[in-house]
Amino acid sequence: MKGNKFKGIAVDGLLRNNPTLRLVLGTCPTLALSTTAMNGIGMGLAVTFILICSNTLISLLRKVIPNAVRIPSFVLIIATFVTVVRMVMEKFIPDLYDSLGVYLPLIVVNCVILGRAEAFASKNPVLDSAADGLFTGLGFTWALTLLGVIREVLGSGSIFGVELWSFRIEFFTSAAGAFFTYGVMIALFNALFAKIDNVKKRKEFYAAYPDAIQPEKLETKTEEVK
């Protein structure tokens, strides 16, 4: 039962409620920092770390924080962790710090983090909230990294900074390419989930009505008759 719950949280964060591709939250850093795969993974991991910390702390304090001032309190907690991450990054990974630029302090107003604090951490026990932070963060990270890989391979002809070939479509490194790639990715993901839902519904239907004629089986039967 316990394992099932964590599995549900994981599937939700990574796929079904993926913050980037399903909920379309935190779009600003997604568009701005998916120019290279490295930026994507750096931003994703920074957000993941802050999400785990803020979710844990908010969940611990959920019975202490009065309801009326909960949003300012969440923002303060998140801002503190962002400041910590920023100082650590500036000291130890200055290259990444420079390439994230203004989007690093903007993690404070990233709707993924505030959204998880409000929707999950303020209502659930500590361990679940930390797991939710981890998996939502990883869902954000993989989507950002995938976008970064696509845009880097097509736009700069390299992957994680390693040059592949001299073929380049610079459109993909531009702002227009960011919107376009992201839009197409959401559309593909939507189509995928529509398909999965369809198959699921069908299975449920035939499980409920075993006597119903199934079109696929019908074809094989007519072939047998021939």
Binding other proteins (rule: CB under 8 A), the pick from 184, 196, 198, 204 is 184
What CA–CA distances, in Å, run from 225 to 29, 211, 216, 220?
60, 20, 15, 9
CB 12 within 8 A of CB 124: no
User: How many residues are listed for the chain in this entry?
Assistant: 226
What residues pair up with 159 in beta bridges, in sequence order? 162
- Count of residues that bind other proteins according to CB under 8 A: 40
Residue 83 neighbours by CB under 8 Å, 6+ apart: none
189-202 exposure pattern, b = at least 16 Cβ within 10 A, e = fewer: beeeeeeeeeeeee
Between CA 111 and CA 115 the distance in angstroms is 5
Q: Which of residues 130-169 bind other proteins (CB under 8 A)?
A: none
What residues pair up with 162 in beta bridges, in sequence order? 159
Binding other proteins (rule: CB under 8 A), the pick from 64, 68, 102, 225 is 102
Q: Nearest 5 degrees, angle CA 28-CA 92-CA 157? A: 55
Q: Which of residues 51-80 bind other proteins (CB under 8 A)?
A: 72, 75-76, 79-80
- Spell out, one character per residue from 18 to 57, where the chain touches other proteins: x when CB under 8 A holds, - when not: ------x--xxx-xx-------------------------
- Please report how close the Cβ of residue 1 comes to other proteins at its closest, in angstroms: 36
Q: Which of residues 109-128 bind other proteins (CB under 8 A)?
A: 109-111, 114
Binding other proteins (rule: CB under 8 A), the pick from 14, 15, 93, 106 is 106
- Please report how close the Cβ of residue 212 comes to other proteins at its closest, in angstroms: 25
- Please report how close the Cβ of residue 150 comes to other proteins at its closest, in angstroms: 14
Binding site for other proteins (CB under 8 A): 24, 27-29, 31-32, 72, 75-76, 79-80, 82-83, 86-87, 101-102, 105-106, 108-111, 114, 174-180, 182-184, 186-188, 190-191, 194
